[in-house]
Amino acid sequence: MDPIFIILIGTVVVLFCIILLKLHAAISLLLAALVTGLLTSSDLIYQYAIQKGMSIQEAQSLSTEGIGRRLADAFGNTSGKIGILIALGSIIGACLMRSGGAERIIRGILRLFGKKNTSLALIFGSFTLAIPVFFDTVFYLMLPLVKSIGVKDPKKFSLYLMSVMAGGVMAHSLIPPTPGPLFVAQELGVDIGVMMIGGIVIGLITVTSGYIYAKWANKKWDLSMRDTADITIKDLKQISVTDEADLPSLSLSLLPVVLPIFFITSKTFLDLNFRENTGDLSVVEHKAHAIFSVLGDPNIALIISAVLGLHLMWYKIKNIKKFQKYVTEALTSAGMIILITASGGVFGQMLQQSGIGIRIQDLAGNYQMALLPMAFLITAAVRTAQGSATIAMVTTIGIMSGVVSAGLQFHPVYLALAIGCGSKVFSWMNDSAFWIITEMSGMEEKETVRYFSILMVVMAFSGLISLMILSKFLPFI
């Protein structure tokens, strides 16, 4: 069966189960993954495995695996990538909110930027953090602040939430040293410094358009704050009126947020320096690289942050029963999010194994469009079909390499950035970030589409339009 039809059937199944049958998201995603996997022939799986760089033996082994094993492996792979991060992120968030640390940070932000500029502080703060750090981690660390300030100004909760999402989501696909833009830049021969500058410029343009949409959406629709498994609105309101003398210090409150960012950022840039100057590094640089290779792993960094957060919460409440209750609530919330996110990962993996990347590559060869829109649309199609921005970028650069070798009429950084923008269209139920945002913010699926998915579309297309204009008037060749 053609992979396009397989994806359409899988999409219909998941939407039918969630919207009409009202089934739980995890069950709906697993059923859709099962149907998708059953419809995918062994030949399609074999071709997918070969394209992924597997050996002939590995490809044959994967193509003959039973559907149950493939589902379980996909579930385990996704859980392995995000399970610990979600659990720790939930603990950190609960600790920051229960201890009053998030409230203390928000009061500091309001004092520094003023209440009118809070959303701008959130959007540019998350944009800066997301340059070296994955979006999921940025969202975990920023969400407690959004909730704490949202309870003070409920009518702007969606604006604050979208500000964090708009700031954090684009940097991941535009600015090295995150994997997607780094790989694309290397494949196109674009200098990393040039890619970073171009990514920041286009990123700021897309973030601005996202902020405009966020302000419009905040006025158009009302998104109320809701109780989540880790904390209720009543508890947030009680914390929001706490006397400042009873809140932890600003430095202690910031530590669980700042320290993991420092560790992860240091590892990212030390890795980049290590790859480029392996033979020229001093003993101190080698030791620093070895230390931060451990501390800068996201799992280790968030473990340290969680320990600091637990200390902060214990210092505040000093009640063992309440302490245990709050940690249990955080882990209960995290468990459901991990289940749903891993189920979405299974669905996305089954879509990838259908060979949709190969199918889109074949279609792209039959149509000669302008290069920038072509690269953008191919990336968008792959991203929407299988859920991973990084895989979409890697797939597209493979498709476009033959076209690029014929020569460009503008600097290749424009093509790299067009691919990055295309990877942000369209986040839906096969994307782990979609479910993380839905569950941790207390939104329904249709609300996540409105406040996150469409936000990404607006930013992605504003990036494409900007690139087409700039490449015309400032080709840099």
Helical H runs in 296-443?
298-317, 320-353, 356-365, 371-386, 389-404, 412-422, 432-441
pLDDT value, residue 234: 87
Q: What is the pLDDT of residues 444-463, one digit of tens each?
A: 989 999 999 999 999 999 99
Which pLDDT tens digit goes with each residue over 347-406? 888 888 888 777 766 765 555 457 899 889 988 988 887 777 877 887 788 667 655 655
Mean pLDDT of 188-199: 85
What's the pLDDT band for 247 if we cut at 50, 70, 90? confident
Q: Which residues pair with 231 in a beta bridge?
A: 228
Summarize the confidence of residues 260-288 as an average pLDDT. 78
**What own/partner pairs with CB < 8 Å and gap ≥ 24 does 325-328 have?**
326/94, 326/95, 326/98, 327/91, 327/94
How long is the chain?
Answer: 477
Distance (Å) of CA 459 to CA 74, 203, 214: 30, 9, 11
On the question of pLDDT at 279 being above 80, the answer is: no
Chain position carrying tokens 């014929």:
406
Mean pLDDT of the chain: 86
d(CA 228, CA 207): 28
Provide mean pLDDT across the span 210-235: 89
Q: Give the pLDDT score at 450.
A: 94
Q: Is the pLDDT of residue 29 over 90?
A: no
103-139 pLDDT, tens digit each:
888 888 888 888 888 999 999 888 887 876 778 778 8
Say what the pLDDT of residue 358 is. 74
The HSE-up count of residue 54 (CA atoms within 13 Å, CB side) is 16
Rounded to whole angstroms, the Cα distance separating 394 from 391 reads 5
Question: Is pLDDT of 471 > 90?
Answer: yes
pLDDT tens for each residue of 288-341: 888 988 998 888 988 999 999 999 999 888 899 999 999 998 898 888 888 887
Q: Which residues is 98 bridged to in the sheet?
A: none
User: What is the pLDDT at residue 278?
Assistant: 63
Which pLDDT score is estimated for 89?
A: 84
* Burial of 386 per CB tally in 10 Å (0-12, 13-18, 19+): buried
